[in-house]
Amino acid sequence: MSESSTKPYLIRAIHEWCSDNGYTPYLAVAVDERTQVPREHVKGGEIVLNVSPTATHRLTLGNDLITFQARFGGVARDLSIPVDNVSAIYARETGHGMAFDVPKAMAVAEPPASPDAPQPPAPGARGPLTLASVPADGPSPSGSGDAPPAADPSPDVPPDGTPPRGGRARLTRVK
């Protein structure tokens, strides 16, 4: 018997954590032919969806498929997302969450709006999403017993470890 993936369990756990703490859970999804989402909202082969209890109806976070109904422009739409296509789940307010590897062949860019429009990048041309943590308050006060935060290799964080303006964690694409 093969072992089941931990990914759907982690998605459910982060979703529950967001809901329990009053945060808005967002799903970042790589769109391909198996993904049923409003194509007009797909950008660069990806879509980010609010999956909070107030934004969805009949939300099912299954082991293989995430299904729900949501309104886009006032029109109710049925969405179906393979769990394999989820590249991240995170809290909109804090950016805290989890990113997942999505196979490069999975993402398919949306067709250009017109024949004169620039062509989208090749499917899977961009790397996987990862969450880069940025300290909200900078280094801890001296004498607190906490170690100062480690330097983040992300190009968005200065070498001295001070947070950039805004000081919030955010989703960052690492190439």
In what helix (H) or strand (E) does residue 19 lie, and over which residues does it extend? helix 7-20
Under 8 Å between Cβ of 87 and 102: yes
User: How large a percentage of the chain has pLDDT more than 70?
Assistant: 58
- The pTM (predicted TM-score) of the whole model is 0.62
In the predicted structure, residue 26 carries a pLDDT above the cut 70: yes
* Nearest in space to 38 (alpha carbons), one of 50, 25, 23: 50
User: For residue 2, what pLDDT band results from cuts at 50, 70 and 90?
Assistant: confident
- CA dist 158 and 163 (Å) reads 7
Paired sense of beta strands 75-82 and 65-72, if any: antiparallel
Rounded average pLDDT over 93-104: 91
Mean pLDDT of 13-41: 96
Give the residue-averaged pLDDT of 89-109.
82
Task: Considering only the C-alpha atoms of the chain, give the largest distance between any 2 of them, rounded to a whole number of Å.
Answer: 62
The predicted structure's pLDDT at residue 33: 95
Question: What are the structural domain ranges in the chain?
Answer: 7-97
Higher pLDDT, 175 or 102: 102
Q: Return the structure tokens found at 63.
A: 């082991």
DSSP three-state, residue 159:
coil
Instruction: Provide the pLDDT confidence category of residue 103 given band limits of 50, 70 and 90.
Output: confident
> Is 89 a residue whose pLDDT tops 90?
yes
The third-level CATH classification (topology) of the domain covering 7-97 is SH3 type barrels. (2.30.30)
Query: Does residue 97 contact residue 78 with C-beta atoms inside 8 Å?
Result: no
pLDDT in tens, 122-148: 444 444 444 554 444 444 444 444 444
Closest CA to 171 of 88, 102, 109, 101: 88
